[in-house]
Amino acid sequence: MDIQKIRLDFPILSRKVNGNQLIYFDNAATTQKPRQVTDAITDYYNNHNANVHRAVHTLSMEATEAYEESREKISNFISARNLSEIVFVRGTTEAINLVAYSWGLSNLNKDDEVLLSLMEHHSNIVPWEIIRKHKGFTINYAKIKQDATLDFEDFESKLSKKTKIVCLNHVSNITGTINDVKRLAKVAHENGSIVLVDGAQAVPHMKIDVQELDVDFYAFSGHKMLGPTGIGVLYGKKELLENMPPFQGGGEMIKEVSYNKNKCEVSWSELPGKFEAGTPNICGVIGLGAAIEYLKGIGMEEVYEHEKELTEYTVKHMKECDKIKLYGTNDLSKRCGIIPFGVRDISAHDVALLCDNYGIMIRSGYHCAQPLHEILKLKSSARASFYIYNTREEVDRFIEVLKAFN
């Protein structure tokens, strides 16, 4: 990877914050956008702006072609079997809610169980807790070890014939821990359970093949992988999606609405239209398609190796700081480029503010994963997270600032 060449594609990286060169280490929250993505969005609005699927005029046909080309790019990117398994949503959160409300409300009953883990993002906890109140099923939570890795034995012990669905993240947004999704899916399927994976922190950083993983649902967001905000993807096995009711009603998702004897008879569109009600985020889809082309041009293996090397380098030098406490497993081969940490006698919030004084953007707080913080006995944590445009020189400056806290 030619990092300096890549950095030229990101205009924001040239700006200064508080008189210092911007260093952006908050990539787990959202990534910056290259010119190729913003140019694709601008081109759509300037030259092809029209609604999709609904007209025969030139602009609509052009917009529809670009929209569906992005669906094909995404399908190929994660190795889905066919295009009908790619559903556009607002992000990972909406994708999980779609499964919870559409599949969950239709298939879960009082005697059933759902298995989650205690390292989940709130978006993979809250929807299930909400519909539990409607349906009365039981939610079990697999334990987390003190090194913030999944307790696989506890996970396996909590699988039962009552467990209808297993929901877990591929990569923790707190510690960067990589879960062995293929192994977990195999065990779940042998138990007769289906599997939903939160891939928000995985798809941007490593090569994903949903067929090889053999998961039933896989959710991810565009804005964490160079794309725009407000666009995401739910992959679902076709046979499951076909048997699920729509999540939202309106235009686009219907095949026919006919009025007869004082009522309307409604039939649904074929997949994936059944789950894409209303005017979609057309520019977001096109922007995500451009982001995927950009990442493919680099190569996901290269992305992963770059982040791995940068994480190892950063952890090594953070350990030189006496006041720094690192959280998560010491086995860096099981982690992505996310480093949670604390500074003795300084709150995570103040650490983030102090870093900001030097133009360094990091995250602080619970990061929408309060249960994991409670398990680790943390009130909060600071978090540095990397992406393709981050450099060793930026890490050196970050370490220099951290050492000044000593």
Query: Mean per-residue pLDDT for 139-146?
Result: 96
> Under a CB-based contact definition with an 8 Å cutoff, are residues 162 and 358 in contact?
no
Q: Please, which pLDDT band fits residue 89 given cuts at 50, 70 and 90?
A: very high
Closest CA to 239 of 85, 396, 52, 401: 85
Q: Just give the CATH number of 39-296.
A: 3.40.640.10
Q: Please, which pLDDT band fits residue 267 given cuts at 50, 70 and 90?
A: confident
Q: Please, which pLDDT band fits residue 252 given cuts at 50, 70 and 90?
A: confident
Tell if the pTM clears 0.95, that is, is over it.
Answer: yes
pLDDT in tens, 77-88: 999 999 999 999
Residue in 264, 283, 336, 368 annotated catalytic: 368
Q: Supply the angle between the helices 282-298 and 300-318 in degrees, to the nearest 10.
A: 80
User: What's the pLDDT score for residue 406?
Assistant: 63
pLDDT in tens, 269-283: 899 999 999 999 999
Q: Residue 253 pLDDT more than 90?
A: no
User: What's the pLDDT score for residue 251?
Assistant: 85
Mean pLDDT check: name the lowest of 26-30, 142-146, 247-251: 247-251
Query: Mean per-residue pLDDT for 152-167?
Result: 97
pLDDT in tens, 336-379: 999 999 999 999 999 999 999 999 999 999 999 999 999 888 99
Instruction: Please give the DSSP secondary-structure letter assigned to residue 171.
Output: B
Please give the full DSSP string across 257-316, using - where no structure is assigned: EEEETTEEEEEEPSTTGGG--SS--HHHHHHHHHHHHHHHHH-HHHHHHHHHHHHHHHHH
Which run of H or of E encompasses 190? helix 181-190
Distance CA 75, CA 197 (A): 16
- Please state the domain extents for the chain: 3-32+299-403, 39-296
pLDDT in tens, 360-370: 999 999 999 99
Distance of CA 301 to the CA centre of its chain: 18
pLDDT in tens, 4-30: 999 999 999 999 999 999 999 999 999
Task: Based on the residue annotation, tell me whether 368 is a catalytic residue of this protein.
Answer: yes
> Under a CB-based contact definition with an 8 Å cutoff, are residues 181 and 170 in contact?
yes
pLDDT in tens, 301-333: 999 999 999 999 999 999 999 999 999 999 999
In terms of CATH architecture, what is 3-32+299-403?
A: Alpha-Beta Complex (3.90)
Query: Mean per-residue pLDDT for 87-103?
Result: 98
Q: Please, which pLDDT band fits residue 255 given cuts at 50, 70 and 90?
A: confident
> Under a CB-based contact definition with an 8 Å cutoff, are residues 267 and 254 in contact?
yes
